[in-house]
Amino acid sequence: MPWTTIEVEKQDKFYIKDDSNESRIISYKDAIYEALDQSMARDSRVFIMGEGVDDPAGVFGTTKDLHKKYGADRVFDTPIAENSLTGMVTGAAMAGLRPILIHSRMDFLIISLDQLVNHACKWCYMFGGKVKIPLVVRTISARGWGSGAQHSQCVQGMMMNVPGLKIAAPATPYDAKGLLISSIIDNNPVLFVEHRWLYKTMGNVPDNLYSIPFGKGMVRRKGTDVTIVAVSYMVIEALKAAEKLQSENISAEVIDLRTIKPIDEDIIFDSLAKTGKLLITDTGCKTGGVASEIAAIVAEKAFHLLKKPIERVCCPDGPTPASDVLEKAYYQDSESIFKKVLEMMK
Partner 1 sequence: MLDNDKLIELYKVMQTIRLVEHRIEDEYKYDEIKTPIHLSIGQEAISAGVCINLEKDDSVIGTHRSHAQYIAKGGDINKMIAELYLRKTGCSMGRGGSMHLIDPEAGVLGSTAIVGGSIPIGTGVALAAKLQNKNNVTAIFFGDGAVDEGTFHESLNFAAIKKLPAIYICENNSYAINSHEMVRHSTSIYRWAEGYGIPAYQIDGNDVLKVYDIAKKAISRARRGEGPSFIECITYRWKGHIGTVNDIGEGQRTQAEYDYWISKCPIKWFRDYLKGIGVLDDNMIKSIDEEINQIIKAAFEFAQNSPKPLPSDLLEFVYAD
Among 92, 142, 167, 239, binds partner 1 (CB under 8 A): 92
Contacts of 79 (CB under 8 A, 6+ apart): 85
DSSP state of 12: -
Region of 196 on the Ramachandran plot (φ > 0 left; ψ -120 to 50 alpha; else beta): alpha
Site residues for partner 1, 198-217, by CB under 8 A, read none
Using CB under 8 A as the binding rule, the residues of this chain from 217 to 246 that contact partner 1 are none
56 interacts with partner 1 by CB under 8 A: no
20 binds partner 1 (CB under 8 A): no
Q: Is 82 a catalytic residue?
A: yes
Distance CA 34, CA 38 (A): 6
Pattern 284-323, binding to partner 1, x per CB under 8 A?
----------------------------------------
Of 34, 151, 195, 253, which one is the catalytic site residue? 151
92 versus 154: smaller Cβ distance to partner 1 = 92
Phi, psi of 251 (to 5 degrees): -100, 110
Give the separation between CA 324 and CA 104, rounded to whole angstroms: 22
Output the CA–CA distances (angstroms, integers) from residue 224 to 241, 274, 297, 307, in the order listed. Answer: 15, 6, 21, 13
**Cα separation of 280 and 34, whole Å?**
31
Per CB under 8 A, the segment of 8-16, 57-65, 162-170, 240-248 that binds partner 1 is 162-170
Q: Which segment (163-171, 204-212, 218-226, 265-273) binds partner 1 by CB under 8 A?
A: 163-171
Q: Does 114 bind partner 1 (CB under 8 A)?
A: yes
Residue from 39, 90, 152, 182 in contact with partner 1 (CB under 8 A)? 90
Using the 8-state DSSP alphabet, how is residue 112 labeled?
A: G
Candidates 42, 69, 125, 161; binder of partner 1 (CB under 8 A) is: 125
Per DSSP, 15 falls in state B
Indicate whether 81 belongs to the interface with partner 1 (CB under 8 A): yes
Closest CA to 180 of 218, 123, 139: 139
Alpha carbons 194 and 217: distance in angstroms, whole number: 17
State the Cα–Cα distance between residues 229 and 238, nearest whole angstrom: 8
Among 52, 61, 91, 148, binds partner 1 (CB under 8 A): 91
Kindly list the catalytic residues: 82, 151
Interface residue list for partner 1 (CB under 8 A): 47, 73-74, 78-79, 81, 83-97, 114-115, 118-119, 123-134, 163-164, 166, 187-188
